[in-house]
Amino acid sequence: MDRLLDASRTSDDIGEVSLRPQVLTEYIGQKDLKDNLTVFIGAALKRNETLDHVLLYGPPGLGKTTLAYIIANEMHGEITVVNGPAIEKTGDLASILTKLKPGDILFIDEIHRLPRVVEEVLYSAMEDFMLSIVVQRDAGAKTINVPIPPFTLVGATTRAGDLSSPLRARFGIMEKLNFYTIDEIKDIVNRTARVFQTTIDEEACTEIAKRSRGTPRIANRLFRRVRDFANFRGEDHITSDDAIAALNALKVDSLGLDDVDIKYLNTVIERFKGGPVGLESLAAAIGEESMNLEDVYEPYLLQLGLIDRTPRGRIATPLAYKHLKKDHQGSLF
């Protein structure tokens, strides 16, 4: 189900491309990652080589796709973007690879969802820039090796642990994206406001940043909705009162928790007596997909210290009880 705070991309992301920085110096946050990429890209350019293959992993909405576009721009190559599940057959991959030019970037989002038969063809392409295709003949199978131009594969995943060891081992550069600080999100909101030619109070910017779950995609989405509320009243400037009223109307609380987060915590506390409870049982109880809970909601709840994941299941922490103003019997205090 598409929700306001889902970091997964939706049709609501219209204009997202215009918000993307084009070079590393414009990219806000992820300082260590940026510093490393600056060195790797600079060294590759000096040697007149393609950049080593890059794996970017972390929760959704933190900028993996944006970084792929930046890498292509910095390496002066064109980028081909494809979603892992969309490559169903080896022929699909072969068609993509044979169209690349030297120095191009192939960006595969959700790379952990590549079919295994496709993944195996990718090994030789990444290592030797050779496309090995098995052709079935009457007398038996025959392997045809087709050279392909040197390219850089940029893979993105929210579930790095789901990548097979052989595929993971073929990435020379592996970088994790972390949640952003409030100050970094404020910088992003201010930049977005400039792109949309809207002025915003410092307090309003802070309020949006505090409720953005440390995620740029959510910050940009909340800014758009707050801007909608202001524009509807005929205003082109966003004040603190505007931001608070809009965010409250959107049911995004002071920590950035939405209806699903609150339902998640209330269910653990009230129905399952604070836990432990298994993910599948919890997902069934609140009517959400377990993968959506694990990939989108739990990382932020864990970061805030509102839940713990144990071998026996999920547990609500004392901070969760305090935030919801509930005692250990699940009653309000």
Please write the tens of the pLDDT for every residue from 217-228: 999 999 999 999
Q: What kind and span of H or E run contains 278? A: none
Q: What is the mean pLDDT of residues 94-107?
A: 94
Residue 13: band (very low, low, confident or very high) from pLDDT cuts 50, 70, 90: very low
Of the residues 6, 109, 242, 258, only one is catalytic, namely: 109
Q: Are strands 130-137 and 140-147 parallel, antiparallel or unpaired?
A: antiparallel
* Interatomic CA distance for residues 297 and 5, integer angstroms: 9
pLDDT digits (tens, 9 = 90+) for 120-149: 889 999 999 998 776 665 566 677 788 999
Identify whether 181 is a catalytic site residue.
no
Q: Are 59 and 158 in contact (CB under 8 A)?
A: yes
Of the residues 6, 50, 64, 317, only one is catalytic, namely: 64
Identify whether 64 is a catalytic site residue.
yes
Residue 261: band (very low, low, confident or very high) from pLDDT cuts 50, 70, 90: very high
Residue 321: band (very low, low, confident or very high) from pLDDT cuts 50, 70, 90: very high
Q: What is the mean pLDDT of residues 277-301?
A: 93
Identify whether 65 is a catalytic site residue.
yes
Residue 49 backbone dihedrals phi, psi, to 5 degrees: -120, 165
| pLDDT higher than 80, residue 327 | no
Residue 230 CB partners (closer than 8 Å, separation 6+): 198, 236, 237, 238, 242, 246
CA 144, 149, 155, 161 torsion-angle sign: positive
Q: What is the mean pLDDT of residues 243-256?
A: 92
Q: Is the peptide bond before 150 cis (omega within 30 degrees of 0)?
A: no
Identify whether 158 is a catalytic site residue.
yes
Identify whether 215 is a catalytic site residue.
no
Q: What is the mean pLDDT of residues 169-197?
A: 95
What is the per-residue pLDDT for 23?
A: 93
Of the residues 168, 170, 211, 217, only one is catalytic, namely: 217
Strand partners, 200: 238
Length reported for the chain: 333
Q: Are strands 152-157 and 173-176 parallel, antiparallel or unpaired?
A: unpaired
Burial-class residue 63 by CB neighbours within 10 Å (0-12, 13-18, 19+): buried
| CA–CA–CA angle 207, 213, 216 (5° rounding) | 85
Residues above pLDDT 90, as percent of the chain: 78
Which pairs with CB-CB distance under 8 Å and at least 24 residues apart come from 297-304?
297/260, 297/261, 297/264, 299/59, 299/179, 300/59, 300/179, 300/213, 300/214, 300/215, 300/256, 300/261, 301/261, 301/264, 301/265, 303/179, 303/214, 304/255
What is the per-residue pLDDT for 77?
A: 95
Residue 209 CB partners (closer than 8 Å, separation 6+): 182, 183, 185, 186, 189, 219
Q: Which of 55, 29, 61 is nearest to 40 (CA)?
A: 55
* Start-to-end CA span in the chain (Å): 33
